[in-house]
Chains A and B, each alone.
Chain A
Amino acid sequence: MTAILVLPPVIALLALALLRWPAIQRRVSIGGGGLLALAAVNLAFGLEPGEIRVWVLGGWPAPLGIVWVADRLAAALVAVAAFVGAAALVAASAGHDEARQHPLWHPLAHLLLWAVCGAFLTGDLFNLFVWFEVMLMASFVLMALGGGRERLEGAVKYVAMNLISSVLFLCGCGILYGVCGTLNAADLARVIGARPEPAVLAGGGCLLAAFLLKSAAFPLFAWLPASYHTTTPATAALFSALLTKVGVYAVLRLTVTVMPIAETPLQPLLLWLSLATMVVGVLGAATQMELKRILAFHIISQVGYMLLGIALGSAPALAAAAFYLIHHIIVKSNLFLIAGLAAAQGGSDDVRRLGGLRQHPALYAGFIIAAGSLAGLPPLSGFFAKLATVRAASELAQWTAVVVALLVGFFTLYSMLKIHREVFAKDAPSSPAAASTGSGSALVAIVGLAAVTVGIGIAAGTLWRWALSVGAELAARTPYITAVLGGPR
Chain B
Amino acid sequence: MNVVLALLVGVLVAAGTWLVLQPRLLHLVLGLGLLGHAANLLVFAAGGARPGIDPAFAPGGSLPAQAADPLPQALILTAIVIGFGATAFVLGLAWRAFRELGDDHLPSWRGSEPPLEDEQTEPRR
Instruction: Give residues in A with beta carbon < 8 Å to B.
Output: 126, 129-130, 133, 136-137, 140-141, 144, 147-157, 159-160, 163-164, 166-168, 170-171, 173-175, 177-178, 225-227, 229-230, 284, 287-289, 293, 350, 352-353
Contacts A177-B43, A178-B45 known; A144 to B112 CB distance under 8 Å? no
Q: Are A164 and B86 in contact (CB under 8 A)?
A: no
Task: Tell me if B's interface is mostly helix, strand, loop or mixed.
Answer: helix
Q: Add 16 more A-B contacts to A155-B97, A163-B36 (CB < 8 A).
A: A133-B82, A151-B112, A152-B97, A153-B97, A153-B109, A160-B20, A163-B32, A170-B43, A173-B43, A174-B42, A174-B45, A177-B47, A177-B72, A178-B45, A225-B114, A226-B114
Q: Are B112 and A227 in contact (CB under 8 A)?
A: yes
Q: Does B39 contact A (CB under 8 A)?
A: yes
Shortest CB-to-CB span from A67 to chain B, Å, is: 16
In residues 17-36 of chain B, which contact A (Cβ within 8 Å)?
Answer: 20, 25, 28, 32, 35-36
The interface on chain B, measured as residues whose beta carbon lies within 8 A of the other chain's beta carbons, has a size of 40
Shortest CB-to-CB span from B78 to chain A, Å, is: 7
Q: Which residues of A contact B82 (CB under 8 A)?
A: 130, 133, 166
Q: Are B79 and A175 in contact (CB under 8 A)?
A: no
Contacts A163-B32, A167-B39 known; A130 to B78 CB distance under 8 Å? yes
Instruction: Give residues in B with beta carbon < 8 Å to A.
Output: 20, 25, 28, 32, 35-36, 38-40, 42-43, 45-48, 71-72, 75, 78-79, 82, 85-86, 89-90, 93-94, 96-97, 100-101, 106, 109, 111-114, 120, 123-124
Shortest CB-to-CB span from B97 to chain A, Å, is: 4
Contacts A149-B111, A164-B20, A289-B120 known; A170 to B97 CB distance under 8 Å? no
Q: Are A140 and B89 in contact (CB under 8 A)?
A: yes
* Number of A-B pairs, beta carbon distance below 8 Å: 119
Q: Which residues of A contact B101 (CB under 8 A)?
A: 149, 152-153
Shortest CB-to-CB span from A341 to chain B, Å, is: 20
CA distance A467 to B97 in the complex (A): 45
Q: Which residues of B contact A353 (CB under 8 A)?
A: 123
Q: Are B78 and A159 in contact (CB under 8 A)?
A: no
Shortest CB-to-CB span from B49 to chain A, Å, is: 11
Question: A129: nearest residue on chain B (CB-CB)?
Answer: B79
Q: Which residues of A contact B94 (CB under 8 A)?
A: 156
Q: Are A178 and B86 in contact (CB under 8 A)?
A: no
Among all A-B residue pairs, the 4 with the closest Cβ atoms: A178-B46, A174-B43, A152-B97, A154-B112
Shortest CB-to-CB span from B35 to chain A, Å, is: 5
Shortest CB-to-CB span from A75 to chain B, Å, is: 27
Task: Specify which of B86, B106, B109, B114 lies most central, judged by the most chain A CB atoms within 10 Å of its CB.
Answer: B114
> Could you write out 16 A-B pairs with CB less than 8 Å apart?
A133-B86, A144-B96, A151-B112, A152-B96, A156-B109, A160-B32, A166-B36, A166-B82, A167-B36, A170-B36, A171-B38, A174-B39, A174-B42, A174-B45, A177-B72, A178-B48
Q: Are B71 and A177 in contact (CB under 8 A)?
A: yes
Q: Which residues of A contact B38 (CB under 8 A)?
A: 167, 171
Contacts A152-B101, A174-B72, A350-B124 known; A288 to B93 CB distance under 8 Å? no
Q: Are B100 and A149 in contact (CB under 8 A)?
A: yes
Q: Are A170 and B40 in contact (CB under 8 A)?
A: yes
Shortest CB-to-CB span from A382 to chain B, Å, is: 25
Shortest CB-to-CB span from A351 to chain B, Å, is: 9
CA distance A159 to B25 in the complex (A): 12
CA distance A156 to B28 in the complex (A): 10
Shortest CB-to-CB span from B116 to chain A, Å, is: 11
CA distance A136 to B32 in the complex (A): 15
Contacts A144-B93, A147-B96, A178-B45 known; A163 to B39 CB distance under 8 Å? no
CA distance A157 to B32 in the complex (A): 12
Shortest CB-to-CB span from A252 to chain B, Å, is: 24
Shortest CB-to-CB span from B100 to chain A, Å, is: 5
Q: Which residues of A contact B47 (CB under 8 A)?
A: 177-178
CA distance A314 to B45 in the complex (A): 37
Q: Which residues of A contact B100 (CB under 8 A)?
A: 147-149, 152
Q: Are B114 and A288 in contact (CB under 8 A)?
A: yes
Q: Are A155 and B93 in contact (CB under 8 A)?
A: yes
CA distance A384 to B7 in the complex (A): 52
CA distance A229 to B114 in the complex (A): 10
Of the candidates A159, A174, A226, the one whose C-beta lies within 8 Å of that of B113 is: A226
Q: Are A159 and B93 in contact (CB under 8 A)?
A: yes
Question: B117: nearest residue on chain A (CB-CB)?
Answer: A287
Q: Are A150 and B93 in contact (CB under 8 A)?
A: no
Q: Are B75 and A173 in contact (CB under 8 A)?
A: yes
Q: Which residues of A contact B36 (CB under 8 A)?
A: 163, 166-167, 170
Question: A143: nearest residue on chain B (CB-CB)?
Answer: B93
CA distance A144 to B45 in the complex (A): 36
Q: Which residues of A contact B72 (CB under 8 A)?
A: 174, 177
CA distance A48 to B94 in the complex (A): 49
Q: Which residues of A contact B45 (CB under 8 A)?
A: 174, 178
Q: Are B39 and A170 in contact (CB under 8 A)?
A: yes
Question: B25: nearest residue on chain A (CB-CB)?
Answer: A156
Shortest CB-to-CB span from A157 to chain B, Å, is: 7
